[in-house]
Amino acid sequence: MKEHSILDIIKSQIKKEESLPVLSPKAAALQQEAIKPDPDFKVMIQQIQTDPTLTSQVLKAANSPYYRGLGDVETIKDAVLRLGQIEMVNIIIEAIHKQNFKSKNPFIKTYQGKLWSHSMACAMGALWTARHLKMENLVPKAFIAGLLHDMGKLYLLTALEKLLKNAKTDAKPTPELMRTIMSSLHAEQGYAILSKWNLPEGYRVIARDHHAESYDHANLLLLIVRIVNEVVNKMERSNPDEDLSSVVSSKEADILGMSEISIAQLEIALEDTMSKRLVNGG
């Protein structure tokens, strides 16, 4: 596949509504309730309990090593009581969006798996960082911002899957071409898909600007996602010769007041939380 032609075809494909990863009406309604400043958990429990897939995903997450306390959580109501509002909203948003990462195409599914792991690491890292910096007003938003910042890549994978299916060929884009597709288009498409999903403007801006050279330095949640994203990227590269010096010296670290020790602690926290999730199959 030639880079220029496939890019043009994908740009054309993503303009079509059928390429858009969608939320079911029930999931969309649940998301809208969950992101309210004061969500009604009675309404949310009722919505979750009528969806077996969501119920199982929420209970699985609530019983994971990362979230669980003493004893098992057996009902959605128990999960709410055990975890509290912020953690429960995070679990619900995670369960809602995980449903879009289930391609039947092995090639696409591999990329979806990597994207989901990256998104979850950024979600956990953003939440840890907001708490570490004692930015209590950002704690309810941090996990969601980290989880959804790269959803433009999901949009592109969905479009590419449809192209591969329609082309009826076994030809696959090269890793280099995949990197070009994702890096050049995902930020713009991230803003688009979060708009379609009716997410607040703050989350859309983070999806659009988390790689931008020019961005709002006063947007502290954006700064958190940007710095966490860089730490996660570094961890994923697994290069023993690469350290965190570029992150430590970044504008984001300077504005947030994150020292070399803080960033090293972030990396350790990410290693710990993600290893626990792997043990649980999350």
Q: How many Å apart are CA 228 and CA 123, to the nearest integer?
A: 9
Query: What is the structure's pLDDT at 60?
Result: 87
Residue pair 37/47 in contact (Cβ under 8 Å)? The answer is no
pLDDT over 90 percentage in the chain: 63
| Nearby residues of 201 by Cβ (< 8 Å), 6 or more positions away | none
Mean pLDDT of 233-242: 94
Q: How many Å apart are CA 221 and CA 143, to the nearest integer?
A: 10
Dihedral through CA 148, CA 152, CA 156, CA 159, nearest 10? 80
pLDDT, one tens digit per residue, over 82-122 is: 888 899 999 999 999 998 999 999 999 999 999 999 999 99
Kindly report the pTM of this predicted structure. Answer: 0.90
pLDDT, one tens digit per residue, over 8-37 is: 778 777 777 666 788 988 899 999 999 998
Q: Which of 134, 120, 124, 148 is nearest to 268 (CA)?
A: 124
As a whole number of Å, the end-to-end CA separation of the chain is 34
pLDDT, one tens digit per residue, over 133-154 is: 999 999 999 999 999 999 999 9
Q: What is the CATH number of domain 106-280?
A: 1.10.3210.10
Domain boundaries, the chain: 23-99, 106-280
Q: Has residue 55 got a pLDDT over 70? A: yes
pLDDT, one tens digit per residue, over 202-216 is: 999 999 999 999 999
